[in-house]
Structure 1
Amino acid sequence: MDTMKLYLAIILIRFIYAGMFILNKAAMNSGMNNLVFIFYRQAAATLSLLPFAIIFERKEAPHLSFVVFMKMFMLALCGITGALNLFGVGLRYTSSTLGAASFNTLPATTFLLAVLLRMEVVKLRSVSGTTKVVGIVVCLGGAMNYAFYKGPRLLSWSHHNSVAHKGSQHSNKTWITGSFIFLAANILWSLWTVLQGRVLKEYPSKLLFTAMQCFLSTIQSFFVAIAFEHNFSRWKLGFDVGLLAVAYCGIVVTSITFYLQAWIIEKKGPVFLAMFTPLSLVINIILSMFLLGEVITLGSVCGAVLLVCGLYIVLWGKNKEEGRSEIHQERQMTVLESTASEVV
């Protein structure tokens, strides 16, 4: 029964993320400014998270020093404000499918940055080390294929939804530009993921830590949006797809997925969760074709296959390495226990 709940939770998470890409793209196709959208999204996320963080962690939370606060500020600026705004620009230039596909490069780029920052070690002479390097190369190959090769059309769904069709077609120049913007956003996300671990050691209250970053990113996103969008009529929210996207991303994505992901990681670990990342891409390809009128090409299919294969190769190598590390630690403990018994 517990196993069934885990799989249902993972499928729900993947559908939530696929819906996020679809609604983001639909909101931008309807004319909503992507910078303004990020501000409202983070404001909604803050309002949904902060009360729970205060109720459940206020008494046990450690003292927030100025140094830790500034680290949180820089993390929010890099991994939330910077990454989400770049992601929004990339989404405007390309498609929701490419946005979902770019998510599959996150494990590879995160691992690469961890290696560059000397937080991970690559043993090229070991099978696991070589496998992870191969996986990264395959992931990057899939991303490059997505960016530079479209190929013939395979599937499309024509309908008369003006929101779906508006802005759904892109030139090769904007597509390539958007692909590199996605890459920059993923690098910032990966850097944010890698550096969060260090700050969490200083401030272990996870819910308050997340809520604080959402709050800081709301302020940052406001100044970014107001610097580029001076027409305040474009800041108005109506009862349309823009308001739905803001509420969905700010409340559903932030609150529900945060809880479910933490629960799954606690039960099965991060590798188990990451293994199902490509499911969002598959769901997104199908939904974007029907709801947004996006075209599925041979290049997008080939790129998706390479991205998924690269992701699983990296995860397999990482999992194998962690398994060997556990075996090595168990052997060391056995040796120490036997030595201690001999001394006694």
Structure 2
Amino acid sequence: MDMDAKKPYAVAVIIQVIYTGIFVILKAAFNQGFNTFVFVFYSQAAACHLLLPIALLRERRNVKSMSFRLLSKLFFCALIGNTFSINVLNVALRYTSATVQSAISNAKPVVTFCLALLLRMEVVKLRSQHGIAKVTGVALCLAGVFVIAFFTGPALSPVNHHRAFHTGHASSDPTSRVTWIKGTFLKLLGDTAWSLWIIFQAALLKEYPNKMLVTVTQCVFSTVQSFVVAAVAERDMSKWKLGLDMSLLAVVYNV
């Protein structure tokens, strides 16, 4: 296998490492008291400040007028894929651990496939080898999710000593087990919303094939939506302050 053929695999590994780092840093920040809803607002606002100037410079000659119907679709997509999905995923992370979140994230392609199947965007032929392989993969993936949800297992030393790798409760505590299961299924719900957003995104890009403007518009909508959610969820303005700690690192790293 030559170097060009290995590049996609190397990129996939790097992306997984980056996402794992996000889970670890976010878990540590949330355990220190950083509000999950406030974090989503700050991360979306920071992304807007980064992407909006770039979009204006790069796409100023390619901007096509967006109809109200298209803007409504973008608002709905931002609500599902950014605001709802990310908020639910962060609450799930607070209830479980960075390890669980990283492991269940591998179920996203399966969830996307199932949704595409329900929407008749995918076809499975159960009598073919490819069809059997797809169904088997879905079954194994879902089995893994249920194992993670209902079996927390013993803590592993020395990794468990860091706040990012545990929930702060004993695994034998019934309340903790309920919280763990709730967090696992919230993670699956968030991934389902994210997968649904991917499917809608594909249809949107066919209607308006400008990826940069579609992304920036959704980011702006999500910033406004996330602010409303955060303002309702956290009314203590002292909790909105960012210091030189894990909360600031989480926002910067997530961008």
Mark yes or no: TM-score above 0.5.
yes
For this pair of structures, how many residues does the alignment match?
248
Cα 1:153–1:20 change in 2 (3 A) is: closer
**Structure 1 residue 219: Cα displacement:** 0.6
1:240 is aligned to 2:245: yes
Deviation string 1:84-119 (CA, Å, 9 cap, x unpaired) is: 000011011100111111211100010000011111
Tell me the residue number matched to 2:220. Answer: 215
Q: Which residue of 1 aligns with 2:190?
A: 185
For the residue of structure 2 that corresponds to 1:62, the secondary structure is coil
Partner of residue 69 from structure 1, selected from 63, 68, 71: 71
Quote the residue 2:173 is aligned against.
none
Flag structure 1 segments of 5+ consecutive residues without an equivalent.
251-344
Distance 1:43 1:95, change over 3 A: same
Matches within 5 A, 1:36-185: 36-157=38-159, 159=161, 164=164, 167-169=167-169, 171-185=176-190
Is residue 2:210 matched to residue 1:205?
Answer: yes
CA offsets 1:113-141 (integer angstroms, 9 cap, x no match): 00111111111121111211111111000
Equivalent of 2:19, from 13, 17, 20? 17
What is the SS of the residue equivalent to 2:34?
Answer: coil
Alpha-carbon distance between aligned partners in 1 of 2:25 and 2:165, rounded to the nearest angstrom: 14
Q: State the one-letter code of the partner of 1:201.
A: K
Deviation at 1:157, TM superposition (A): 3.4
- CA-based RMSD of the aligned residues comes to 1.9
In structure 2, distance between residues paired with 1:151 and 1:165: 13
TM-aligned CA deviation for residue 152 of structure 1:
3.8
> For 2:44 and 2:72, how far apart are their aligned partners in 1?
19
SS at match of 1:123: coil
**Cα distance in 2 for residues equivalent to 1:184 and 1:4:** 33
Q: In the alignment, residue 111 of structure 1 is paired with which amino acid?
A: F
Deviation at 1:58, TM superposition (A): 2.5
Separation in structure 2 between the aligned mates of residue 217 and residue 164 of structure 1, nearest angstrom: 27
Partners of 1:7 and 1:71 in 2: CA distance:
34
3-state DSSP class of the match of 1:151?
A: coil
How far the C-alpha of 1:232 sits from its partner, in A, is 0.7
CA contact (8 A) 2:40 2:87 kept: yes
After superposition, where does 1:281-320 map in structure 2 within 5 Å? none
Runs of 4+ more than 4 Å apart: 1-8, 163-167
Partner AA of 1:99 in structure 2: Q
Task: Decide which moves more: 213-222 or 57-66.
Answer: 57-66
Question: What TM-score, normalized by structure 2, do the two folds share?
Answer: 0.91
1:31–1:200 CA distance, 2 compared to 1 (3 A)? same
Q: Provide, for residues 19-41 of structure 1, a one-character-per-residue CA deviation record: whole Å limited to 9, x for no partner.
A: 11111111101100000001001
SS of alignment partner, residue 136 of structure 1: helix
Change in 2 beyond 3 A, CA 1:181/1:196: same
Q: Out of 3-12 and 241-250, give the one that drifted further.
A: 3-12
Q: How far apart, CA to CA, are the structure 2 residues paired with 1:21 and 1:87?
A: 10
Change (3 A) 1:123 1:4: closer
Bigger Rg, which one: 1
